[in-house]
Amino acid sequence: MVDYSLYLVTGRELLPQGKDYLVSLEESLQGGVTIVQVREKHIDTLEFLEIAQKTKLLCNKYNVPLIINDRIDIALAVQADGVHLGQTDMPIHIARSLLPPGTILGVSCNTKEHVQKAISDGADYVGIGAVWGTSTKQLTSPVIGVRGVGQILKTLDGTNVKAVAIGGIKSANALRTLHGSVSTTGHVLDGIAVVSDIVASTTPFHAAQNLSSILGAFNRNITLRVDQRYDATSSHIIDKIKNGVCNLMQTIKKTSPLIHQITNVVVTNQSANATLALGASPIMATAPEEMYDLSLAIGALLINFGTVKDKEGMILAGQFANASQKPVVFDPVGVGATQFRKRTAAELLNTWQASVIKGNAAELGALADSKEVQAKGVDSVGGGFLDPAGFVKELAKKERCVIVLTGKTDWISDGTTVVKLDNGHEILGDITGSGCLVGTCVAVFCGGAWAEAVSHEGNGALNQDPSGQLVKGDMLLGAISGVLALTIAAELAVERSDVHGSGTFLPALIDELYHLTPQEIIEKAKIEVVS
Ligand code: 3NM
Ligand code: MG
């Protein structure tokens, strides 16, 4: 069995000044590289041969397979374990006939068709790229993105062909690469292939070790779930959820987590006030320059692109939030309305890992490329989905996060459990930004869930142990709580004698969020665990 997990591709031209090729290689092997490809594009055969021979000796020492890029003669000469071929190199079946039985053969693939061909030609593995932008190699086709890699991986279902992603992978995006590169069928990568993050490092040992620990922490088996707390068959499941919501309410009041919201101009003020009403602290910052500092201070990040501006800030904020394991709540407002929004949503989701994605039927339908529900403006038309429970569950698996589908009934899933919530009031549809308020409330409660998780870890644990999880805290509970808080507050607000219409409803809604008690949640919540 070949271990493709940390696949080093050499690149001598990227070595830091004064760093010897073999010294760097040995350090990276000690750091956890599991397979090495010698890639040389511009040298004479004799020099290539010498490098390959020396590399082979080191690989043998660490019991790591050696792959040669392109050159079958060199591979034969040094008795390499395999050969890696590009789309314009020797065809696989011919290479196979020239090489000893059992030689590993890999192919660079950029499309589904490439992968199909690699399978039928008998490749052992494919290198799919470029997943991110890279300056190590002149790319001849567009960057694929993690979601694109995920789609391509589906082609490998039912085969024994392994897959690594390549192109711009580094420790800052490795976890997102692994989590994001997943097909709807749950096919994940077998490894990541890296040049510059290791080779250009002055400490390749640490670079490889970092990547190796991220790989070790990657949970191949879907979503952010860690336990079976929400087992639908458990008799006390609803009580458990209600208790969880109440605890989160108290944690928020006690710790007042900072909720960073990059949101649209229509709702900024009311979202900030709703945040305060629940006992958290809002900050509505948008400048890219402050995103790193904020990521250290916040309990959660909300990204709402109702008026798509500040894209650069959205990208950086999400990346930094991922790096510090803070919840990222994404509200892709009106994503189906324009191609620009669709492209922007794809770009954002290619760059960071959302913890929760919240949208109405039109928005989530557009994100999922569903034909069932179409968008008109920012509101959905034509009702919802025939099978909303199945829809949210599948999308949660695909995006590897919690999905909140809002509507008359709200559906929430983490890819395993589906929860149905039936609170709310139709008057919410008569004020602007009620959906955005749901996003804000979800972010507040996810911030509470983060604070709760961290308080259980003790001081400093967060910094010492990057466990590799993309977020700390129970995001399913955070999402459920946020929806319940807003929809129950809405029910309480309309009952008030001083509410006469949508104008008086909005301040009453903020009041009810402000006064909301755990008791009211327990009495009013209409929760059903569907699966
Ligand atoms: N092949 P780095 S991208 C060798 O897309 C190679 O097939 C690619 O280098 C492909 O890790 C690439 O420094 C370079 O970005 C990857
Ligand atoms: Mg080649």
Q: Please state the domain count of the chain.
A: 2
Together in a domain, 201 and 319: no
Together in a domain, 212 and 243: no
Together in a domain, 182 and 310: no
Whole-model pTM: value is 0.79
Question: Hey, what amino acid is at 6?
Answer: L
Segments forming the whole domain that contains residue 298: 237-457+471-529
Burial class (CB in 10 A: 0-12, 13-18, 19+), 529: middle
Cis ω before 208 (30° cut-off from 0): no
Atom of ligand 1 nearest to the CA of 134: 15
Together in a domain, 429 and 399: yes
Mean pLDDT, all residues of the chain: 91
Pocket test for ligand 1, best of 70, 109, 110, 136 (most atoms within 8 A of CB): 136
Residue 222 lies in a domain: no
CB 416 within 8 A of CB 223: yes
Residue tagged 């108290």 (tokens): 250
pLDDT (0 to 100) of residue 373: 66
Reported as a single tens digit per residue, the pLDDT across 81-124 is 999 999 999 999 999 999 999 999 999 999 999 999 999 999 99
Together in a domain, 301 and 199: no
Q: Which two tokens stand for residue 257?
A: 């987590």
Together in a domain, 206 and 241: no
Residue 226 lies in a domain: no
Reported as a single tens digit per residue, the pLDDT across 468-499 is 467 889 999 999 999 999 999 999 999 999 99
Distance in angstroms (rounded) separating the CA atoms of residues 295 and 304: 17
Q: Return the CATH number at 486.
A: 3.40.1190.20
Residue 14 lies in a domain: yes
| Nearest bound ligand to the CA of residue 171 | 1
Beta strands 104-109 and 125-129: pairing type? parallel
Residue 151 lies in a domain: yes
Together in a domain, 16 and 134: yes
Together in a domain, 162 and 256: no
Residue 440: Cβ within 10 Å count: 32
Together in a domain, 246 and 212: no
Could you confirm whether 436 is annotated as catalytic? yes
Confidence of residue 382 (pLDDT cuts 50, 70, 90): very low
Residue 200 lies in a domain: yes
Q: Which two tokens stand for residue 501?
A: 């219409």
Together in a domain, 283 and 198: no
Reported as a single tens digit per residue, the pLDDT across 44-53 is 999 999 999 9
Q: Which two tokens stand for residue 498?
A: 């001083």
Supply the DSSP string of 247-261, one letter for each residue.
HHHHHHHHH--EEEE
Interval between CA 143 and ligand 1 midpoint (Å): 11
Interval between CA 10 and ligand 2 midpoint (Å): 13
Instruction: Tell whether the torsion through CA atoms of 295, 297, 300 and 301 is positive or negative.
Output: negative
| Region for residue 471 given its phi and psi (left: phi exceeds 0; alpha: psi -120 to 50; beta: otherwise) | beta
Reported as a single tens digit per residue, the pLDDT across 393-445 is 989 888 889 999 999 999 999 888 999 999 999 999 999 999 999 999 999 99
Q: What percent of the chain has pLDDT over 90?
A: 74
Together in a domain, 255 and 370: yes
Together in a domain, 243 and 198: no
Confidence of residue 224 (pLDDT cuts 50, 70, 90): very low
Residue 263: Cβ within 10 Å count: 27
Burial class (CB in 10 A: 0-12, 13-18, 19+), 300: buried
Greater pLDDT, 173 or 392: 392
Residue 145 lies in a domain: yes
**Nearest residue by C-alpha to atom 15 in ligand 1:** 168
Catalytic residue (one of 59, 436, 441, 446): 436
Beta strands 410-413 and 418-421: pairing type? antiparallel
Is it the case that residue 372 has pLDDT exceeding 80? no
Confidence of residue 232 (pLDDT cuts 50, 70, 90): low
Residue 82 lies in a domain: yes
Q: What's the maximum distance between 2 C-alpha atoms anywhere in the chain?
A: 89
Residue 228 lies in a domain: no
